[in-house]
Each structure stands twice: as structure tokens, then as C-alpha cells.
């Protein structure tokens, strides 16, 4: 009992979503491969942003010294 009434169990537990119904294993594997190809580009962009941020911080620090 839950606060004076009986607990109800839903009829459908975990109904399938549209994505699970329409996506196939081949499409999923292709998408994973595309994401792996893009990782190199994202890492390169992140490395460049980190370098630029460190340069700005160094310039700001050195201008105060």
C-alpha cells in the first residue's frame, strides 16, 4: 500500500521509442564510424583553443609583471 491506496503497475513497462524502432544496426555502426573520424578534428580544435588560451593568459600575466 502506498499512502492508503494500492500501488498500480503500468501496463507497458519501457515502451519502445521511435529511435529504437527505426534505427538499424548498420545505421548505428555507420554513425559511430563517422564520429570516430571527427574525433581527430575535434581534438585538433581543442588543442588550438587551449594553446590560444594559454597564450592570452601568459600575455596578461607578463604585462602585469
What is the C-alpha to C-alpha distance for residues 52 and 56, in angstroms, rounded to an integer? 6
pLDDT beyond 80 at 56: yes
pLDDT of residue 1: 52
Q: Is 7 helix (H, G, I), strand (E, B) or coil?
A: coil
Residue 33: all three cell numbers together:
564510424
What is the C-alpha to C-alpha distance for residues 36 and 32, in angstroms, rounded to an integer? 6
What is the C-alpha to C-alpha distance for residues 65 and 57, in angstroms, rounded to an integer? 13
Global model pTM greater than 0.85? no
HSE (CB half, 13 Å, CA atoms) of 45? 5
For the segment 16-54, what is each residue's pLDDT rounded down to a tens digit? Answer: 888 888 889 999 999 999 999 899 999 999 999 999 999
Domain ranges, ordered by start, for the chain: 24-64
H/E segment holding residue 24: none
Amino acid at each position: 500500500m502506498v499512502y492508503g491506496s494500492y500501488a498500480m503497475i503500468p501496463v507497458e513497462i519501457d515502451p519502445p521509442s521511435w529511435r529504437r524502432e527505426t534505427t538499424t544496426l548498420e545505421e548505428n555502426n555507420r554513425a559511430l564510424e563517422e564520429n570516430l573520424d571527427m574525433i581527430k578534428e575535434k581534438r585538433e580544435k581543442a588543442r588550438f583553443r587551449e594553446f590560444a588560451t594559454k597564450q592570452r593568459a601568459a600575455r596578461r600575466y607578463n604585462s602585469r609583471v
